[in-house]
Structure formats: structure tokens, C-alpha cells
């Protein structure tokens, strides 16, 4: 059940059964010469919708632009500053909390969002307490990074080993290939670069990783692999979400 495809009366009825909601969040950023700029949002949204279907839960609209300032040296990347994203998440959750939601399960597709999400939760808890929103003490947020779920991580290592890398990975590219086979891309990859460098900013990232990848080999990706990753992520995150709701 998708929030933006529902009526307010349907949401009100749903809240009588559950005060949990799934929120997909990703990024709009470069993913190397063969990865879609929308990869992180595409993956998070598809998995979130499937988890919502499996659990009969509400799924909020996807937050498509995340914290990707370090990728802005590449054309097409869009980013919010951490401070902006914190306020966006705080305002989203404040509206939903006032409606009666108390359990917010973020399915995240972008590693650069992780620290900002943690800070946004702290900001939100304090803000809701200051506003004395009903049940503010019951409100809880959790991040589920689909690419870090146990089954997904193990399969990526099994299929790709060290060539999985840490950005523009074959696992995430494979998932987009499965979801959008009509948009499979080909291109020339730069020589392998170690993913171990500490990134200081957009210019530094572009200098160290000239084609946008970080130690990855997305040429290994296939749509068939993508379906495997999708099924495993949905299974893992469905279990995580149901466990999250237990204390509701």
C-alpha cells in the first residue's frame, strides 16, 4: 500500500492496524560509466514496495535526493547538504507522527546517507518532544541498508569477491539491470583503483576515481544476479521490519 496512491481515509483506517511505515531513501548520483544515476533510489524504492506488499504495510514516497556532495564533481549528480537532509527528514517525520505513525523504517540505498540519517533521528526525537506530539516517547526510527543485509553481502562476495568494491558495485548495477533491463548500459572502465582512499570532497573524489567507481567491476553484473539480490534483500528486510514492529 503506497501512501501517495491512498486516500486520507484509507490511511486513517490503516493506522488502526499499524502505526508503522516504510520510507525508501536513496540518492541521485553518478554510478560510473555504466551505472544509472538513480541507482540508489531505484533499488531502495523497489525493495521497499516489495517489503510493503509482503507485510501489508504503508510505503511512503521515496526520498530520491540524499547526501552525495562527494559525487558532485560528476555531471548529473544532485545532493542535499547534511543539514538540509536532516531538516527534510525531521519535517517528514513530524507530519507523519502527528498523524499517528510511531515506527519509521527507512530502507536505504546509499551509504552516504547513513550518518545523516542517524543525526536526523536524534534531531527528530528532540523536536517531537519539544512539540509535545502525542506518543512522542513511542516514536522510533531504524535504518535498513539493503546492500548490507547478511544474505546480500554474502552473495556479493561469492559472485564478485574483491571486485564488488564500494561504489558503483556490480551488485547494485545488477539490481537495476533486473528492474530496468531496457536501460542496461555499456561503457569503457578506467584502470582499477583501490577503494581505500579517504575522500575529502568532490574534487578529490574525481581526481582519485576518474570514472566514478571505487574498486568495483560493474561489468560482472547481470540481470539474473539482480533478481537474486532483489529476492534476498526483500526476504531479509521483511524479517527485519516485522521484528521492528514487535514492540509497537
| Number of neighbours of residue 80 by Cβ within 10 angstroms | 21
Please state the domain count of the chain. 1
Burial code of 106-144, b = ≥16 C-beta within 10 A, e = fewer? bbbbbbbbeebbeebbebbbebbeeeebeebeebebebb
106 strand-pairing partners: 23, 143
pLDDT digits (tens, 9 = 90+) for 148-166: 999 999 999 999 999 999 9
- What pTM does this model have? 0.95
- 129 occurs within a structural domain: yes
Q: pLDDT at position 197, please?
A: 73
Which three cell numbers, joined as nine digits, stand for 14?
Answer: 490503516
32 DSSP 8-state letter: T
123 strand-pairing partners: none
Confidence of residue 244 (pLDDT cuts 50, 70, 90): very high
pLDDT digits (tens, 9 = 90+) for 171-229: 999 999 999 999 999 999 988 777 777 788 999 999 999 999 999 999 999 999 999 99
Q: What are phi and psi of 109, to 5 degrees?
A: -115, 5
Alpha carbon separation from 236 to 104, 144, 233 (Å, rounded) = 17, 10, 5
* CATH label of the domain that carries residue 27: 3.40.50.10310
- 95 occurs within a structural domain: yes
- 247 occurs within a structural domain: no
- 144 occurs within a structural domain: yes
Q: Are 148 and 110 in contact (CB under 8 A)?
A: no
Q: Are 15 and 7 in contact (CB under 8 A)?
A: no
Per-residue pLDDT averaged across 41-55, rounded?
Answer: 98
Range of the domain at 123: 3-242
Burial class of residue 186 (count of CB atoms within 10 Å of its CB; 0-12, 13-18, 19+): exposed
Q: What percentage of the chain reaches a pLDDT higher than 90?
A: 92
- 248 occurs within a structural domain: no
Which residue shows C-alpha cell 532483489? Answer: 230
H or E stretch covering 120: helix 114-131
| Straight-line distance from the first to the last Cα atom of the chain, in angstroms, rounded to the nearest whole number | 19
Q: pLDDT at position 219, please?
A: 96
Amino acid at each position: 500500500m503506497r501512501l501517495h496512491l491512498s486516500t486520507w481515509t484509507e490511511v486513517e483506517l490503516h493506522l488502526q492496524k499499524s502505526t508503522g511505515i516504510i520510507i525508501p531513501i536513496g540518492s541521485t548520483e553518478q554510478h560510473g560509466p555504466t551505472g544509472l544515476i538513480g541507482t540508489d533510489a531505484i533499488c531502495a524504492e523497489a525493495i521497499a514496495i516489495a517489503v510493503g506488499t509482503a507485510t501489508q504495510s504503508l510505503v511512503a514516497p521515496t526520498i530520491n535526493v540524499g547526501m552525495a556532495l562527494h559525487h558532485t564533481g560528476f555531471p548529473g549528480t544532485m545532493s542535499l547538504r547534511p543539514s538540509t537532509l536532516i531538516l527534510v527528514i525531521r519535517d517528514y517525520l513530524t507530519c507523519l507522527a502527528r498523524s499517528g505513525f510511531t515506527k519509521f523504517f527507512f530502507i536505504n540505498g546509499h551509504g552516504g546517507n547513513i550518518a545523516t540519517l542517524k543525526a536526523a533521528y536524534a534531531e527528530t526525537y528532540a523536536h517531537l518532544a519539544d512539540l509535545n506530539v502525542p506518543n512522542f516517547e513511542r516514536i522510533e526510527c531504524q535504518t535498513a541498508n539493503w546492500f548490507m543485509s547478511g544474505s546480500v553481502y554474502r552473495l556479493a562476495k561469492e559472485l564478485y569477491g574483491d571486485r564488488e568494491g564500494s561504489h558503483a558495485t556490480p551488485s547494485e548495477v545488477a539490481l537495476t539491470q533486473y528492474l530496468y533491463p531496457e536501460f542496461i548500459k555499456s561503457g569503457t572502465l578506467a584502470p582499477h583503483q583501490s577503494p581505500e582512499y579517504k575522500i575529502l570532497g568532490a574534487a578529490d573524489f574525481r581526481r582519485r576515481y576518474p570514472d566514478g567507481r571505487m574498486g568495483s567491476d560493474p561489468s560482472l553484473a547481470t540481470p539474473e544476479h539482480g533478481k537474486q539480490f532483489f529476492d534476498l534483500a526483500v526476504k531479509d528486510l521483511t524479517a527485519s521490519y516485522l521484528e521492528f514492529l514487535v514492540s509497537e
